[in-house]
Amino acid sequence: SLVGLPDGTLWATGANDSGQLGQGTPGDRSVPMQVELGGRLLSLSASPSHSLAVRSDGTVWAWGSNSSGQLGDGTTSNRLAPVQVQGLRGVVMVAAGSSHSVAVRYDGTVWAWGSNNYGQLGDGTTNNRLVPVQVSGLSGVVTIAAGQYHSLAVRSDGTVWAWGSNNYGQLGDGTTNTRLEPVQVSGLSGVVTIAAGQYHSLAVRSDGTVWAW
């Protein structure tokens, strides 16, 4: 598990089989130890095997499993300590999927990297990406989420957009078709926050109601 403290430091404890605790050495940790980010923590997200952090300078740092390029450093080598995601600045939020990563920049654009076998990077292909690529046709995004093989975004107009695996209808577009680029979730507006499970998605509207698909 990862915990960010109010002072901007990041602490980790638990399983470390892929280096996901960012300690620089292998081995599980039974007590929290600080992750050295080299700067103040702004935002973080973690999958079971890799971790992402945004520093206050807008750079993204990643560590742990990298088999599909989900650390965004141009390689597929696992990393035991944080490495900087290449070519990405001005980031305000990150989301870690099973083996892919998603980020939203201050300008509302969305970027993704790692595994893309179901189109979860939203760039119109199924090619894995070792460095970030921009999600196609998506702007004005304020928040994001990443499931196992799908991704979600909320735009400033309160609409929700989804892409990637859709075998259980987790994209909410009324089909079970995989989508390689973002499609709008049907009949849903006024959304303020979202969450992505393994094969399902959730949204909270401004009226406090919760919606799921």
Quote the tokens at residue 177: 């078709």
How much is the pLDDT for 2? 80
Half-sphere exposure of 45 (CA within 13 A, CB side): 25
Place of tokens 């975004």: 153
Please give the DSSP secondary-structure letter assigned to residue 8: S
Place of tokens 């259980």: 168
Per-residue pLDDT 10s for the chain (213 aa) are: 788 888 999 888 888 787 888 888 877 887 888 888 889 999 999 998 999 999 999 999 999 999 999 999 999 999 999 999 999 999 999 999 999 999 999 999 999 999 999 999 999 999 999 999 999 999 999 999 999 999 999 999 999 999 999 999 999 999 999 999 999 999 999 999 999 999 999 999 999 999 999
How much is the pLDDT for 63? 94
Number of H helices and E strands in the chain, helices first, is 0, 18
| Interacting residues of 104 by C-beta distance below 8 A, sequence separation 6+ | 91, 92, 93, 110, 111, 141, 142, 143, 144, 153
How much is the pLDDT for 27? 79
Q: By the 8 A CB rule, do 84 and 60 touch? A: yes
Closest alpha carbon to 146 in 205, 98, 185, 92: 98
Q: By the 8 A CB rule, do 19 and 70 touch? A: no
CB atoms within 10 A of CB 102: 29
Give this prediction's pTM.
0.93
